[in-house]
Amino acid sequence: QVQLVESGGGLVQPGGSLRLSCAASGSIFGPFAMGWFRQAPGKQREQVASVTAGGLAIYADSAKGRFTISRDNAKNTVYLQMNSLQPEDTAVYYCNVQGGRFSYWGQGTQVTVSS
Protein backbone atom coordinates (compact mmCIF):
# COMPACT_ATOMS: atom_id res chain seq x y z
CA GLN A 1 0.00 0.00 0.00
CA VAL A 2 1.31 3.39 -0.96
CA GLN A 3 1.32 6.19 1.60
CA LEU A 4 2.13 9.83 1.06
CA VAL A 5 3.19 11.85 4.07
CA GLU A 6 3.28 15.62 3.73
CA SER A 7 5.00 18.12 5.97
CA GLY A 8 6.04 21.75 6.03
CA GLY A 9 2.75 23.60 6.12
CA GLY A 10 1.98 26.33 8.60
CA LEU A 11 1.26 29.98 9.17
CA VAL A 12 3.38 32.56 7.37
CA GLN A 13 3.15 36.28 6.82
CA PRO A 14 2.59 37.73 3.34
CA GLY A 15 5.85 37.76 1.45
CA GLY A 16 7.19 34.83 3.41
CA SER A 17 8.30 31.38 2.33
CA LEU A 18 7.49 27.78 3.12
CA ARG A 19 8.86 24.49 1.88
CA LEU A 20 6.52 21.52 1.61
CA SER A 21 7.75 17.96 1.50
CA CYS A 22 5.99 14.75 0.55
CA ALA A 23 7.52 11.33 1.00
CA ALA A 24 5.99 8.32 -0.73
CA SER A 25 6.37 4.90 0.83
CA GLY A 26 5.32 1.50 -0.42
CA SER A 27 5.62 -0.12 -3.82
CA ILE A 28 5.12 2.17 -6.79
CA PHE A 29 5.68 0.50 -10.13
CA GLY A 30 6.52 2.24 -13.33
CA PRO A 31 7.29 5.85 -14.04
CA PHE A 32 5.17 8.36 -12.21
CA ALA A 33 4.74 12.06 -11.83
CA MET A 34 4.69 13.78 -8.46
CA GLY A 35 2.84 16.97 -7.84
CA TRP A 36 1.05 19.38 -5.59
CA PHE A 37 -2.56 20.47 -5.64
CA ARG A 38 -4.37 22.85 -3.36
CA GLN A 39 -7.91 23.50 -2.27
CA ALA A 40 -9.08 26.71 -0.70
CA PRO A 41 -12.37 26.92 1.23
CA GLY A 42 -15.31 26.97 -1.14
CA LYS A 43 -13.14 26.33 -4.19
CA GLN A 44 -12.27 23.34 -6.31
CA ARG A 45 -8.98 21.55 -5.95
CA GLU A 46 -6.46 22.92 -8.43
CA GLN A 47 -3.07 21.81 -9.62
CA VAL A 48 -0.17 23.92 -8.42
CA ALA A 49 2.83 22.15 -9.91
CA SER A 50 4.01 18.73 -11.00
CA VAL A 51 7.23 17.08 -12.08
CA THR A 52 7.65 14.00 -14.24
CA ALA A 53 9.95 11.10 -13.53
CA GLY A 54 12.40 12.68 -15.95
CA GLY A 55 12.36 16.01 -14.16
CA LEU A 56 10.09 18.04 -16.42
CA ALA A 57 8.20 20.53 -14.27
CA ILE A 58 4.99 22.37 -15.04
CA TYR A 59 3.37 25.11 -13.03
CA ALA A 60 0.02 26.78 -12.72
CA ASP A 61 0.11 30.41 -13.77
CA SER A 62 -0.39 31.43 -10.14
CA ALA A 63 2.77 29.55 -9.16
CA LYS A 64 5.12 30.58 -11.93
CA GLY A 65 8.03 32.65 -10.73
CA ARG A 66 7.26 32.08 -7.06
CA PHE A 67 7.12 28.32 -6.51
CA THR A 68 9.68 25.67 -7.39
CA ILE A 69 8.95 21.96 -7.47
CA SER A 70 11.67 19.34 -7.24
CA ARG A 71 11.93 15.64 -6.54
CA ASP A 72 14.44 13.19 -5.15
CA ASN A 73 13.85 9.92 -6.98
CA ALA A 74 16.08 7.98 -4.62
CA LYS A 75 13.84 8.99 -1.72
CA ASN A 76 10.52 9.12 -3.63
CA THR A 77 10.12 12.59 -2.22
CA VAL A 78 8.77 15.73 -3.82
CA TYR A 79 9.29 19.26 -2.56
CA LEU A 80 7.54 22.54 -3.16
CA GLN A 81 9.46 25.68 -2.33
CA MET A 82 7.01 28.54 -2.06
CA ASN A 83 8.26 32.11 -2.00
CA SER A 84 6.50 35.47 -1.96
CA LEU A 85 3.42 33.88 -0.45
CA GLN A 86 0.21 35.86 -0.54
CA PRO A 87 -3.12 35.48 1.30
CA GLU A 88 -4.65 33.96 -1.83
CA ASP A 89 -2.20 31.07 -1.48
CA THR A 90 -4.01 30.00 1.68
CA ALA A 91 -5.30 26.48 1.15
CA VAL A 92 -4.86 22.85 2.04
CA TYR A 93 -2.02 21.53 -0.10
CA TYR A 94 -2.18 17.91 -1.26
CA CYS A 95 0.60 15.78 -2.59
CA ASN A 96 -0.19 13.52 -5.56
CA VAL A 97 1.58 10.62 -7.23
CA GLN A 98 0.24 9.86 -10.68
CA GLY A 99 1.11 6.89 -12.86
CA GLY A 100 -0.44 5.21 -15.85
CA ARG A 101 -3.01 3.30 -13.85
CA PHE A 102 -2.88 4.81 -10.40
CA SER A 103 -3.19 8.01 -8.48
CA TYR A 104 -2.38 8.42 -4.82
CA TRP A 105 -3.10 11.36 -2.54
CA GLY A 106 -1.69 12.60 0.71
CA GLN A 107 -3.81 13.73 3.61
CA GLY A 108 -3.09 17.40 3.00
CA THR A 109 -1.21 20.09 4.88
CA GLN A 110 -2.61 23.50 5.74
CA VAL A 111 -0.88 26.61 4.48
CA THR A 112 -2.15 29.89 5.87
CA VAL A 113 -0.79 33.23 4.72
CA SER A 114 -1.87 36.01 7.01
CA SER A 115 -0.52 38.99 8.88
Q: Could you report the per-residue pLDDT of 41-93, keeping only the tens digit for each?
A: 999 999 999 999 999 999 999 999 999 999 999 999 999 999 999 999 999 99
What are the strands, taking DSSP E only, across the chain?
3-7, 10-12, 18-25, 33-39, 46-51, 57-59, 67-72, 77-82, 91-98, 103-105, 109-113
Percent of the chain with pLDDT over 90: 87
92-107 pLDDT tens trace: 999 999 998 899 999 9
Confidence (pLDDT) at 31: 87
Q: CB under 8 Å to 74, separation ≥6 — which residues?
A: none
Query: Hey, how many other C-beta atoms are within 10 angstroms of the C-beta on 55?
Result: 9
